Structure 1
Amino acid sequence: MAMIDRGGARGQPPEGEPGGKPDFRELIARPDVRRWILRVAFAAVIGMLFAIVFDPRIGLTAAVVAVIVDTVRRARAGDGGYRASPAERKTAKQLSGLTKKGWHILHARAIPRDDDGVSDGQIDHLVIGPTGVFAIDSESWDKRLPVRTLSHMRLFHGPFEKKDRLDEARWEANQASRLLSLAMGQEIPVQPSVAIYGPSVPWRVMTVRNVDVYSGGKARTYLRKRPKVLTDEEVAGIAAAAAKVFPSKFD
């Protein structure tokens, strides 16, 4: 089985792992951290508006209420009420035929935290097969805006840079790799990828910031055309571990 290159210097712990140098970019890429940043920013705006119109104390109260309401709303939405997006359903339908050929597809899987809780992060599709392990993020974008890349480092949808989507996809795959490696007792590489629906994607597969990007309609081809790196026994073992490690959002 292929081994992960953690990228750390010899004799030094890699970045982002215990004892290593904290990576602020990886922290910001965490979906739970990103949602709290947006939540706090939204509450601050609400608080300032109420403080200007009414009173600073009313503004503070409004900000606190905004945080509480948003937190409760998200908690209720995630409590057994998860629904797959149209893009996720398209990818799921496309990949369903692979199960008859020995592939294992886990949809909408939550990412556990080290404190035994569950983060806000989600792997849309965790795929285990002969060509490896993949974390696929299904995205639906406005078809009127073009998709382009710059030097394999920047991804754009029209005038909008999609660095946050690449960072999140890479974070999800890194977490999947870390947790599966712990469960299996050996390094399990997980390749991040983004399947785009809506606009035309002018390439088959483009690797941008270590994330594979392609048209959603080619997800199945993307998986099958890669070199085989896992035996049937390894695929079954990793799939069994993944089913235990990553809880389903549908439960």
Structure 2
Amino acid sequence: MKEHPEGGTAAALLADPRIRRRLPTAGTALGAGLAVWLLGGWRLGLTVAVLVVIGDVVRRSRKTSSVTAWQKSSAAERRTEKQLKSLQRNGYVVLHARAVPRDDDGVSDGRIDHLVIGPSGVYAIDSEKWDKRLPVRTMSHLKLFHGPFNKKDRLDEARWEAQQASSILAARCGFEVPVQPSVAIYGPSIPWKVMRVRDVDVYAGNRARAYLRRRPKILTEGDVERIFEAAQQALPPKYPD
């Protein structure tokens, strides 16, 4: 019996999940291009097909994340993750979705969205997506409101998680490791750059990168590496692959 390598190659390609995910896009692009070609010529048809493919690539890139659990629904976390990538050239390293102990009152979900370690220190960033129709305001640096809703629980959660990370990392490293909690808010307008409320830094989500820039250096390269290694070992991924 003759072998048919072409058939085997086609089967292998179809078995590849990356190829299967792109088949609907290819079909849509081909269909749209063919329809426009019949009506307006092959050049216009080809242009439409290319635009369909480009649109799909852009859409998929917005959903790309190193944390599988974030790829479908957690747009806020993905947006912060994307901003933090550019800080690597400045000596920062980032761990996403790391597990910490829950508190007895159930305030914390036991997850730090983004643990950032760099020359200026260690930061626990919580990414939040809030209703953009409601204003955000503070009261004497002690209370945070989103419309009529007191967001004390979000501040308590961020502070608790940072404290847990600080204690765990200090035990591993053998020296104090302060971890500054912060909340990056997407959706509503934030009428300040950075405001510290109940010891938690609060700012607009699109300022996450700027929040970490232009700070005084307090950690050496060796400190950053040591803390990063300790965090990798002591703060496991919240969503193991």
Per the TM superposition, whether the score is higher than 0.5 is: yes
Query: 1:196 is matched with which residue?
Result: 185
Q: What percentage of aligned pairs have identical amino acids?
A: 65
Question: What is the CA-CA distance between 1:228 and the residue it aligns to?
Answer: 1.4
Name 1:139's counterpart in structure 2. 128
Query: Is the partner of 2:116 in helix, strand or coil?
Result: strand
Per the TM alignment, residue 120 of structure 1 is displaced from its structure 2 partner at its CA by: 4.4
Residue in structure 1 matched with residue 221 of structure 2 by the alignment: 232
Contact 1:112-1:245 at 8 Å conserved across structures: no
Per the alignment, residue 90 of structure 2 pairs with: 101
Q: Deviations over 1:12-62 (max 9, x none)?
A: xxxxxxxxxxxxxxxxxxxxxxxxxxxxxxxxxxxxxxxxxxxxxxxxxxx
TM-score (norm 1): 0.64
Given candidates 74, 78, 83, the residue that maps to 2:70 is 83
Whichever structure has more helix as a proportion of its residues is: 2
**CA apart distance, 1:81:** 7.2
The residue identity in structure 2 corresponding to 1:82 is A
Give the corresponding residue for 1:149.
Answer: 138
- Whole-angstrom CA distance in 1 between matches of 2:186 and 2:100: 24
Retained in 1: the 8 A contact 2:181–2:200?
yes
| Matches of 1:214 and 1:178, distance apart in 2 | 25
> Any idea what SS the aligned residue of 1:236 has?
helix
Return the alpha-carbon distance in structure 2 between the equivalents of residues 250 and 201 of structure 1: 31
Alignment of 1:102-141 (within 5 A): 102-112=91-101, 120-141=109-130
Q: Which has the higher relative contact order, 1 or 2, with Cα contacts under 8 A spaced 6 or more apart?
A: 1
Q: Which residue of 2 aligns with 1:176?
A: 165
| Displacement after TM superposition at 1:82 (Å) | 3.1
1:209 match: 198
- Whether contact under 8 Å (2:70, 2:77) holds in the other structure is no
**Closer/same/farther in 2, CA of residues 138 and 224 from structure 1, 3 Å limit:** same
Q: Is the 8 A contact 1:82 1:249 kept in 2?
A: no
Compute the displacement of 1:232 (Å).
1.1
Code of the residue aligned with 2:117 in structure 1: it is I
Aligned letter for 2:228?
A
Which one has a bigger Cα radius of gyration? 2
Aligned residue pair count: 167
Matched residue SS, 1:135: strand
3-state DSSP of counterpart to 1:182? helix
- Asked if structure 1 preserves the Cα contact closer than 8 Å seen for 2:70 and 2:78, the reply is no
Say whether the 8 Å CA contact 2:186–2:206 is kept in structure 1: yes
Is residue 112–residue 126 contact of structure 2 (8 Å, CA) maintained in 1? yes
Deviations 1:120-146 (A, max 9, x none): 400000000011000000000000111
Give the Cα–Cα distance (whole angstroms) in 1 for the partners of residues 152 and 180 of structure 2: 17
Kept after mapping to 2: 8 A contact 1:111/1:122: yes
Unaligned 5+ runs, structure 1: 1-79, 114-118
Per the TM alignment, residue 171 of structure 1 is displaced from its structure 2 partner at its CA by 0.1
Alpha-carbon displacement from aligned partner over 1:70-116 (angstroms, at most 9, x marks no partner): xxxxxxxxxx9733611000000010111222211000001157xxx
Distance 1:184 1:219 in 2: 27
**207-216 vs 119-128, which moves further:** 119-128
1:218 alignment counterpart: 207
Relative distance call for 1:81 and 1:131 in structure 2 (3 A) is closer
- Deviation, structure 1 residue 224: 1.2
Q: Aligned equivalents of 1:159 and 1:226: distance in 2?
A: 34
Q: Distance in 2 between matches of 1:81 and 1:152?
A: 36
Instruction: Report the TM-score, using the length of structure 2 for normalisation.
Output: 0.66
